[in-house]
Structure 1
Amino acid sequence: MRSRPLWISAAVLASIGAIGAVVLMWRPAIVPIERPRAFDSAQLQRGARVVEAGDCAVCHTRPGGQYMAGGLPLVTPFGTLYSTNITPDPQTGLGQWSLPAFERAMREGISRDGHFLYPAFPYVHYRRMTAGDIADAYAYLMSGPAVNSPARQNRMNFPMNIRPLVSFWNVLFLHAKPLTPVAQQSDAWDRGRYLVEGPGHCAGCHSPLNLIGAEKSGESLAGGAVDGWEAPSLLGMPRRANAWSNDQLVSYLRGEVVDGHGTAAGPMRPVSLSLARLPVGDAQAIAEYLLSLPAKAAITETQPAVTTAETSDQASGALLFASACAGCHGPAAPMREIDGRPSLDRTSALQAPSARNFLKTVLEGVPATPGMPGPVMPPFAASLDNDQLTALASYLRRQARPDQSWTDLSSTLEAIRQETK
């Protein structure tokens, strides 16, 4: 006779659990509106600054595509996402979104129609923004030209192709609150912290991720990976062997060539060009904040033994440098004076513990940005084979760090080539 009460209790608990799951995985749609157009010029100027600080165009504008019309593929460990259209088009963009719908997306990762956004959209960081900045960004986006550009179909792996499951991810990781000033810090430091941890979402690339794609707890800004590049740690920057000064970091953040570190490449390149369009005070504030961050732990570097193969690479590497690189980067190269090309042994890529970023830069180059000044470097992926790249990298690493050779050149090169395929 006891079995019936047990079955009833189990059924009640199961029903409660099912109801809780439905509530957790469901959000209501927000009523569509007519596109608003009445924004004053001061708000639009502020909004343009917020959108640049948030790198919105970096993800929402594909190469060759129209501004903010989406379609850029974002490759994640869980599949490929395509960025969406955030122009004010009423059918395929934000044209029917109210400000409350936009703010919900920015703070909670919920679309206007109630579906969950994948956390590749950095709402985890955008939720730290002020209501004023979110409203200004909304005004700026709504004021732009509408582009009809339907969303491309995402290619996510099971089970992440089931969008409502993102709700459980949010329960675990969506806890950040809007930032408030720190009393003992300067206004510039507070501004830099806000830009780094809020709209700039720097930790999204510069932090290691756990198995389900969230930033590892306690390791914010300790270094990560994005699009096949290493995003270096941003901790302890003024206390490294190849230390950063304030002026160097400000220039680097604004896409300039910096003696001792080179210039931003890979995914950081468009970010730096966005920062260059902001007032220089924003880059100075970011630099002040980042340079105040302590190192996570002391790094002990070991000195690997020099192999016979590495010794033989030096002669061929020197020859390759003379033929392919010295015209811009050699001591007597005119471009060193005209365009500020760096001595390669002083760049951060050659000073790094891993060869990946140096190899990626050589393979992919630094493309020109239409309408903007800046360094340009051709790609060498088709003109140098793996043996030549290994010899060149080994030679240049010896110039930069004679005490610490790279031992992962062959495996890193092979991995990069496979990723490119």
Structure 2
Amino acid sequence: MNARRPLAARGTWLAPILLIVCLAAVLPAVYLAGTVDPRGHLRNLPVGLVIEPQTGMTQVGAAESVATGIEDGAGVALAVTRMSHDDLATAIREDRVAGAVVIPADFDHSIASLLPGAVSTTVPTVTILTNAGDGGLSNGLLVATLTPVLHRAADALGDQLLDSDTATAPPAANVALLSQPFDIVSRPYEPLPDHAGMGTSAFYYSLILVLLGFIGASLVGPLVDSALGFIPSEIGPLVARRPYTAISRRSTFLGKTAILVTAAPLAAAAVQLVAALLGVTAADWITLWLYSTAVIAAIGTSALAVFAALGPGFGALVNTLFFVALAMVSSGGTVPLEATPAFFGWFSEISPFRHIIDGTRSLLYFDGDATAGLRSAWISVALGGALGFLLGLGVTTAYGRVHAFSRHPRDPVPDRITATGHRPLDHSDIKENR
């Protein structure tokens, strides 16, 4: 007979090839679109502006002039907000700003010393303070964007001071001093603890938790199915086919979820142990352990629900895109959300990864402050885990009520001899291959 070989059949190879090609187009579109041009996409990066009360009883008004120049030169890239030192301390602690510009209290007095007739001269310094907890790329974007704004403000201030007295030409020395009337320095508002990876340890710690939930679900699913005899299990050349156990989709989902949730606290403890051995520090290790356990359980349960709804093939694709690919770019963990296309900012509102990173940052960098993202992270994890569980429970219950959706193996030609001359395989024929 001229039976087509199964591996050569179009239905065997066409769908996997098309899915891989589509994935090859989607992944670079996601990762590269969100990371190739952060400065070009930068919009409304939150920045504080602190003008210290001026001393020295001068009427120069240079500090206010520079502040106005910063606000006018920020454009759409920076969202500048005037605040006091106390307000800045709160904003940094709550991770609400990427950094700040500080104009010192002696700024006007020092600028006045650069004008003709001064006995001594002092060049003032304007400081860019960075929020080190936001990571190196965020800090670099802040400094790279603010520095030219400050240079333009300095040029405008110098021209203003030179033009203020047109009766006599100022000495060349004063012209040279006023060509760049203040220096610019940058430093962290508060340095990160040791072994913080320049602000990236929170991102990678969060990524580990998400991957444990996602990959854990990918492992639990087939292992449980093989234990129930629904699919064979393979370890290298060894193949085991266990007797089939008739069990509903809902009970299978609940069993898989129970296994993953049981493993979550153990996995969270293992992550913390390795992190501690590598020098990572946290404000509260017990809270971090509870939080990590909740993240692994919530992500794993949601991933199992997607597998239950779509199956292992399409389910793996959807889980990869939602929990890893799109989630990483829209997390703000490496590239600030303000420096990504608008779509990623929208997706970050529904992506659990963004909130997970906020919570981890709070525990690793901001003393576990609830207002620094930990409170919203707990809410997001609890809500996401509950929705995932309800989705899985609802889908498996609904599928179980439709006979055509049954997972139980059925003979294609019952009680008859197949075209190949063999009797169809009965459940009693399924034995463990030793």
- Coarse TM-score class (shorter-chain normalised): under 0.3
More helix by share: 2
More strand by share: 2
TM-score, structure 1 normalization: 0.23
TM-score, structure 2 normalization: 0.22
Between Structure 1 and Structure 2, whose CA radius of gyration is higher? 2
* Higher relative contact order (Cα pairs below 8 Å, separated by 6+ residues): 2
